[in-house]
Structure 1
Amino acid sequence: MEDELIDSSRLSLPRKSVLPGAGFFYPDSFDEARAEERAKAKLESAEVAVVTDTDADGLGCVALLREMYDAALDVAEFEERIAERLADDDEEEEEEAEIEDEEEERPQSPVALVGSSPYSLEDDLLRVAEYAPEGIDVYVCDLCPDKYEYVEEELEALAEMAGEIHWYDHHQWKPEVAEAVRDAGVDLVVGESDEECSTDVTLRELDYEFDDHFTELAAVTRDHDLWLNEDPRSKDLADYAYWTSKEEYVAVVGTYGADLPDIVEAYIAERRIEKEALIEAAVSRADFKSIGEWTVGITYGRCSQNEVADALREEGADAAVIVKPAGSASIRGSEDFERCHEVADLVNGGGHPKAAGCKPDIYDDMLDYAHHWTTEGATTKRVILNAFERVAETPAEDDDEGLDTEL
């Protein structure tokens, strides 16, 4: 297949809005091989390992840990590279892959960052067990397994070779999963899901006197991660974490906290031109469905889900669903709908009462994806709306059940 066919920079915005980025078309085996190589290079000489989600909340935890271990990377080189990207008017979609590749050329921190997700957590835990030095201390941040069986073997392998294992999170934990993780020898601390983000939990649990800008970083990260939207800086943090490399984000917020430097603000402003256009395209194609006592706004497109959800809520939606070209979907709630995690749990996902994600297990081959793109997610929408209907037929979960909040 010719490279031009998956090069999003060559597409008009309407077509870019309905197709996934170039990374989607690389086979998992290719990504796994690269992940293995990168993990090995980072972990073999590491003194501490952090397995974390790669959004602003997970990366905020890494910034705290590197500060505590005096292992932050020099921010100056990152700022130089940002200036170079701003000067290159031709950079488009491929920029994200190039930014990640640049990480391999930089000095590595002794606090190794292993980017993970709910779908790759077990693999990343095993990579630490296989490649990190015996006796290394390990932190797992901003991640929650739906079932202990998903991580059982990998976590036990890690426990056999690691020194201490600390796990800091704020998602909705099932009591039996939390108990099993603790029984495996892990120091698991789960914060109040609707009051704290994982950066809050990490800041509180680490035995270190952090400067004020880290405390403020946690507060602004919480503003975005809990969908409070009261501090405009939280939108900048979320966008920046999404658009740039993990290492760059950690270095910048570790130095500046939530008050990003001018060069970063300029970079964010440039990237937002296209972002706003993609948001508008997604909002324009939304439908609204009445399910039980709720109005559900549902749409499709490559876009920023939080801003689209805000727009749909302004148009009367109690809950918003944004189906992505890659097959996953974001579910966002409101004061009138706090059962997003219940919906997601029915379609291969999970999350918080007001924010969750999923990827329905309905894609058997590329023809299914072709249908997904050409129908703007019709099957995925139907499956998720059916899940809303099932939730509407059941009473809300007891807030005291299914949530582990040991502080």
Structure 2
Amino acid sequence: MDDSLIDSSELSLDRRSVLPGTGFFYPNSLDEDRSEKRAKDAIDGAEAVVVTDSDADGLGCVALIRERYDAALDVEPFLDAIESRLDDGDDTDEIAVEMDDTGDSAVGLIAAGPHSLAESLEYVATYAEPGTDVYVCDIAPDSYDAVADPLETIRDRDDRVSWYDHHQWPKNVADAVRDIGVDLVVGDSDAECSTDVTLRSLAYDFEAQFAELAAVTRDHDLWIKDDPRSMDLADYAFWTDAEEYAAVVGAYGASLPQPVEAYISHRRVEKEQLIEKAVDRAAYKSVGPWTVGVTYGRCSQNEVADELQDVGADAAVIVKPSGSASIRGGEAFESAHLVARQVNGGGHPKAAGCKPEIYDDMMDYAYHWTTKGETAKRVILQAFEHVAEDLNTADAADEGEENDTDTAVDE
């Protein structure tokens, strides 16, 4: 295939907003080989390994753990690379600095997500030396069975296996993880981010900049939005390589250096344009007691959700060209995780993600792109309907119990 056909950086903004980035078209078989090699390189000779989500919260945990082990990477090669990108006007979605240029950390980093968690744990089970400290941060498994085999292998071999998170955990999953001896600490998702949990869980006297990093990360991750720096952290983590982000915030905390601020400003020009495209596409649907704003596009879902809610949506659904979707709520809708669980996902009451199992071949993806996510929108709205019905049934049952109690008292 001609590389130019999948190089979205050369497309017009209209087309770029409805198609996935170049990485989407990289075959899983080749991507798995590349991911395994990167994981093996990160694990090789490491004193500790962190398997984490690659957003600002997960990578904030990495910065703390590397500080605890005195294993931070030298930040200067990364800053030089940022300045080179600015000079080149680079807007690509996949940016990385070769580890040969930055050195190796004694704390290996394996960026993962809910759908790749078991695979990432398999890498640790396969390649980590006995006695390696293992941390899992900012990810909750869908079920214990999904991670049982590699997690039990790791726990049988290593004395220290810690899991720091703040997502919604089913009790049976949390109990099963703890029962095999994992130090699982799950923070209150309404009050803490995973960086907070890591900060208070590690036996180490951190400098003030790391407490500040946790606070600013929390400001974005919990949608508090009182500190403008929190959006900088979120955008930077999204736009850059995991190793670069961990190195920069490990060195500077939440107050990012000038080259990073300049890079963020450069990337935000297109970001705002893509947000506008997604907001303009939005439709508003009444589902049960809620108004749901639904849109499609390659965009920053948080800002799009904010704009949809500003015009009256109780919940927002942003379907992405890759096939996944973000579900956002607020004071009037706190069941995003319940909706997501019905369509192959999960998350928090006010913020969740999913990828409906509706893509059997490339024709399905072609339909997805040309219809701007029509099928995904439909099945997610159906999930909203099911949640509304379940909540109505639960409310009716509660009301019935109250009436029975009142009758018993009257008698």
Q: Same fold (TM over 0.5)?
A: yes
**Preserved contact between residue 169 and residue 198 of structure 1 (Cα < 8 Å):** yes
Structure 2: stretches of 5+ with no match in the other structure: 396-411
Query: Please, what TM-score do these two structures have when normalized by structure 1?
Result: 0.95
Distance of 1:129 and 1:298 partners within structure 2: 41
Task: State how 1:173-184 maps to structure 2 within 5 Å.
Answer: 173-184=169-180
**Preserved contact between residue 51 and residue 140 of structure 1 (Cα < 8 Å):** yes
For structure 1, which segment, 77-86 or 165-174, has the greater mean C-alpha deviation from structure 2 after superposition? 77-86
Residues 1:104 and 1:391: Cα distance change in structure 2 (over 3 Å): farther
**Preserved contact between residue 200 and residue 219 of structure 1 (Cα < 8 Å):** yes
Offset at residue 293 of structure 1 (A):
1.2
* Matched residues, number: 394
State the Cα deviation string for residues 260-302 of structure 1 (Å, max 9, x = none).
1111100000000000000000000000001111110000000
Match in the other structure for 2:122: 126
Distance of 2:108 and 2:224 partners within structure 1: 31
State the Cα deviation string for residues 26-62 of structure 1 (Å, max 9, x = none).
1111111001111111112101010100000000000
Match in the other structure for 1:92: 91
Aligned with residue 381 of structure 1, among 367, 377, 381 = 377
Match in the other structure for 2:63: 63
Match in the other structure for 1:40: 40
Distance of 2:300 and 2:189 partners within structure 1: 22
Residues 1:169 and 1:115: Cα distance change in structure 2 (over 3 Å): same
**Preserved contact between residue 129 and residue 162 of structure 1 (Cα < 8 Å):** no
Distance of 1:365 and 1:245 partners within structure 2: 30
Match in the other structure for 2:296: 300
Letter in 1 for 2:25: F
Letter in 1 for 2:106: P
**Preserved contact between residue 278 and residue 299 of structure 2 (Cα < 8 Å):** yes
Task: State how 1:1-40 maps to structure 2 within 5 Å.
Answer: 1-40=1-40
Aligned with residue 208 of structure 2, among 174, 193, 212 = 212
Distance of 2:39 and 2:9 partners within structure 1: 30
Alignment of 1:362 with 2:358, yes or no, is: yes
SS of 1:149's equivalent? coil
SS of 2:33's equivalent? helix
Q: Specify which structure has the bigger relative contact order, considering alpha-carbon pairs within 8 angstroms and separated by 6 or more residues.
A: 1
Task: State how 1:232-247 maps to structure 2 within 5 Å.
Answer: 232-247=228-243
Task: State how 1:243-322 maps to structure 2 within 5 Å.
Answer: 243-322=239-318
Match in the other structure for 2:337: 341
Distance of 2:243 and 2:391 partners within structure 1: 44
Query: Please, what TM-score do these two structures have when normalized by structure 2?
Result: 0.94
SS of 2:326's equivalent? strand
Match in the other structure for 2:399: none
Structure 1: stretches of 5+ with no match in the other structure: 399-407
Alignment of 1:325 with 2:321, yes or no, is: yes
Offset at residue 312 of structure 1 (A):
0.3
Distance of 1:226 and 1:104 partners within structure 2: 36
SS of 2:321's equivalent? coil
| Displacement over 4 Å in runs of 4+ | none
Offset at residue 132 of structure 1 (A):
1.2
Offset at residue 163 of structure 1 (A):
2.5
Residues 1:101 and 1:249: Cα distance change in structure 2 (over 3 Å): closer
Letter in 1 for 2:62: V
Letter in 2 for 1:360: P
Match in the other structure for 1:53: 53
Task: State how 1:111-150 maps to structure 2 within 5 Å.
Answer: 111-150=107-146
**Preserved contact between residue 66 and residue 111 of structure 1 (Cα < 8 Å):** yes
Match in the other structure for 1:170: 166
Offset at residue 102 of structure 1 (A):
2.3
Match in the other structure for 2:408: none
Distance of 1:134 and 1:100 partners within structure 2: 30
Alignment of 1:72 with 2:104, yes or no, is: no
Letter in 2 for 1:80: D
Aligned with residue 229 of structure 1, among 215, 225, 234 = 225
Match in the other structure for 1:405: none
SS of 2:390's equivalent? coil
RMSD of aligned alpha carbons: 1.2
Offset at residue 229 of structure 1 (A):
1.3
Offset at residue 160 of structure 1 (A):
2.1
Distance of 1:252 and 1:299 partners within structure 2: 34
State the Cα deviation string for residues 323-379 of structure 1 (Å, max 9, x = none).
000000000001110100000011000000000000000100000000000000000
Residues 1:123 and 1:303: Cα distance change in structure 2 (over 3 Å): same
SS of 1:394's equivalent? helix
**Preserved contact between residue 309 and residue 315 of structure 2 (Cα < 8 Å):** yes
Flag the structure with larger Rg: 2
Distance of 1:57 and 1:9 partners within structure 2: 28
Alignment of 1:156 with 2:155, yes or no, is: no
Residues 1:102 and 1:167: Cα distance change in structure 2 (over 3 Å): same
Distance of 2:372 and 2:220 partners within structure 1: 28
**Preserved contact between residue 152 and residue 180 of structure 2 (Cα < 8 Å):** yes
Distance of 1:154 and 1:101 partners within structure 2: 29
Offset at residue 222 of structure 1 (A):
0.5
